[in-house]
């Protein structure tokens, strides 16, 4: 019995929070109670990003670029 009352209390608190945050809107009408919910919109966003690219012509240019970069390299 105590578990059932606790469950009802938790559900009442959840409904109260949803009403206070305007996720659920409860209106009293002549026909009874009207419950409206907000539409949830999920979308994606397209972004352009820039990726730094180092172009080299031979191995010595690649080593010079590694020395000039801010990256930390670990040699084993």
Average pLDDT, the chain: 78
Euclidean distance between CA atoms 9 and 11, whole angstroms: 5
Give the residue from 57, 49, 54 showing the smallest Cα distance to 68: 54
Euclidean distance between CA atoms 1 and 60, whole angstroms: 79
Residue 51 falls within a domain, yes or no? Answer: no
Number of domains in the chain: 1
Residue 1 falls within a domain, yes or no? Answer: yes
Domain span holding position 29: 1-39
Per-residue pLDDT tens over the stretch 3-39: 999 999 999 999 899 888 888 888 877 788 788 877 7
Q: What is the DSSP letter of 52?
A: -
Residue 22 falls within a domain, yes or no? Answer: yes
Residue 48 falls within a domain, yes or no? Answer: no
Q: What is the DSSP letter of 39?
A: P
Residue 64 falls within a domain, yes or no? Answer: no
The per-residue pLDDT for 68 is 64
Residue 52 falls within a domain, yes or no? Answer: no
The encoded tokens of residue 74 equal: 């670990």
Average pLDDT rounded to a whole number, residues 64-73: 62
pLDDT at 55 over 80: no
- Cβ atoms of 23 and 38 closer than 8 Å: yes
Residue 10 falls within a domain, yes or no? Answer: yes
Residue 19 falls within a domain, yes or no? Answer: yes
Q: Which helix (H) or strand (E) holds 7?
A: helix 2-20
């Amino acid at each position: 019995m105590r578990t059932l009352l606790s469950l009802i209390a938790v559900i009442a608190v959840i409904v109260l929070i949803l009403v206070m945050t305007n996720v659920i809107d409860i209106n009293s009408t002549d026909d009874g109670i009207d419950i409206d919910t907000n539409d949830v919109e999920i979308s994606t966003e397209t972004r352009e990003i820039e990726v730094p690219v180092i172009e080299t012509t031979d191995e010595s240019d690649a080593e010079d670029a590694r020395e000039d970069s801010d990256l930390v390299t670990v040699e084993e």
